[in-house]
Structures are given as structure tokens and as C-alpha cells.
Amino acid sequence: MKNVYMYDGDFLSLLNTIVYLLKNHLQVENIKNENYNPSLFENTIHLSIPKQEIIIEQIVSSFGSFVLRSMYDVFLSEEENKEIILYYFFRNALKYRHKIMYHRNLKCVSEVLRISAFVRHEIHKMKGFLRFKELEKNILYAEMEPTNDILFFLSLHFRKRLKSEFWIIKDNKRKILSIYDKKKFVIVKEEEFQLQNLKESKEEKNIKILWKTFYKTIGIKERKNDRCRRNFMPKKYWKYITEVSEEL
């Protein structure tokens, strides 16, 4: 039988679980969140460990903030084995301390760096690809289906950029929304928030037409290169990108 340790599903709980397992020298085959369906040969173990926030500070002071951010990036990814990758990474971090990130010859380090880069890359891309539409009462509303759970970092960006607007960003894949009221944003589950049936504002249609006109005009037809376009703007995002969604 393989030992699979279960955690709450949030980052803090995962970190606490990893530390507990390492401290007690327990044999670990895998770590999974509560929704996991174990196979016949797996033995699930539920630990009830208190979630201590101090662990965040400890990681920053012993390994540096870059290590913490990279671990959090990995946690936000959809990587199937992210928990166990983070476990091995943490174990090596105890040995190499601040210098852990230079040890790219270790599989867990190269994996953490690869996944973290992938998540950050998507955050950066989505800062450009997200499309708001204007609803009545001057509310800006956007939907997306990113591969990774990037709503929080995206909200940080738009909190600065669209400081004096009301906006809502919805992640359709995870059924969560970020709502900003010109002061702060909160992330809530879909069922906790009822968006009244607001129509698009009067201007919205015209602005969309103008944008599509611009988009069609700005490409040089003698240089048409669809492959290049798809490389930079993968089709998985097109559904919500106003100017190309009709081409799907």
C-alpha cells in the first residue's frame, strides 16, 4: 500500500503538511487535496495539523522570498503532481537554503522553475488578453478560462491600472469571481455572488465595432502569417478575445 497524505486544499495547509511530514520522517508516496479519489492500492491518511501562518515568514527568512513565490506559483498550477514536487523541493531547500534555485540539476528544482515560469507567463499573457465589456452603471466585466489559477495576481494588476473603475473578473473554469469596488477587490465563489442581469451599456456595441475595424485594418495582408499569430496568441484563449472569437 502507498501512503497518500491529505491536506485541506489551500497553500498554507499544504506547507504545514509538508513540514510535519519532514519533521516526523514519515514515508511519503504522495500528497493530495481532499477531492482526490484514491486507487485500490493507496492508503489515505488525514492529518489534522493546525495551520500556522508563521511558516510563511520562516520560508522567506530561511530561503528567500523568491523561493516562496515560486512555490506558490507551482501551487496555482494544474500540474498533477505539484504537491509531491513541492515536497521534494522543500526537502532539498532545507539542505541548500538560499542557494536551492541554482541547483537546476535536481529534478524537483528544474520542475519548480519550469512550472513557475509557465504560471507567470500565463499571468503576463492574460494581462493583455483579458477583455472587459461595459455593462450598465459603468461596470466593467470580463470572463476568462486560464489554465492556471491566476485570478489573484491578475486582480493585483487591474487594481492599479483600473483604479477608479468598478470591475469584475470571472474565472469560468474555477467558478470564482474577483470583484473590485474602487477600493479593494475580493475573490468569491460563483454561488456567493449574484450578478443582477445587467445589460451591456449603450456604447458597448459601437466600441466593439470600432475595435474590430482597427484589428482587421492593422494587419498587413502581404505579410499574413497565421502560424505566427497562433504561436503568440494560442487558440485556447480565443473564445473570450473580442476581435478573434468569431474566427473560431
Chain residues that interact with another protein, rule: CB under 8 A: 99, 102-105, 107, 110, 114, 124, 127-134, 140, 142, 160-165, 203, 207, 209-211, 213-229, 231-233, 241-244
Q: Among residues 26 and 207, whose Cβ is nearest to another protein?
A: 207
Q: Among residues 30 and 201, whose Cβ is nearest to another protein?
A: 201
Is residue 190 within 8 A of residue 175, CB to CB? The reply is: yes
Provide, rounded to whole angstroms, the least separation between the CB of residue 179 and another protein.
Answer: 17
**Nearest alpha carbon to residue 244 among 207, 212, 214, 205:** 212
Provide, rounded to whole angstroms, the least separation between the CB of residue 25 and another protein.
Answer: 26
Q: What is the phi/psi pair of residue 148, to 5°?
A: -110, 165
Provide, rounded to whole angstroms, the least separation between the CB of residue 201 and another protein.
Answer: 11
Provide, rounded to whole angstroms, the least separation between the CB of residue 177 and another protein.
Answer: 17
Buried b (16+ CB within 10 A) or exposed e, 207-242: ebeeeeeeeeeeeeeeeeeeeeeeeeeeeebbebbe
**Nearest alpha carbon to residue 139 among 204, 189, 211:** 204
Is residue 30 within 8 A of residue 5, CB to CB? The reply is: yes
Q: Among residues 25 and 216, whose Cβ is nearest to another protein?
A: 216
Q: Among residues 9 and 128, whose Cβ is nearest to another protein?
A: 128
Is residue 86 within 8 A of residue 111, CB to CB? The reply is: no
Cα–Cα distances in angstroms (integers) from residue 170 to residues 158, 175, 204, in the given order: 13, 7, 19
Q: Among residues 58 and 245, whose Cβ is nearest to another protein?
A: 245
Euclidean distance between CA atoms 159 and 140, whole angstroms: 13
Provide, rounded to whole angstroms, the least separation between the CB of residue 83 and another protein.
Answer: 21
Provide, rounded to whole angstroms, the least separation between the CB of residue 91 and another protein.
Answer: 17
Number of H-type helices and E-type strands within the chain = 8, 8
Q: Among residues 23 and 216, whose Cβ is nearest to another protein?
A: 216
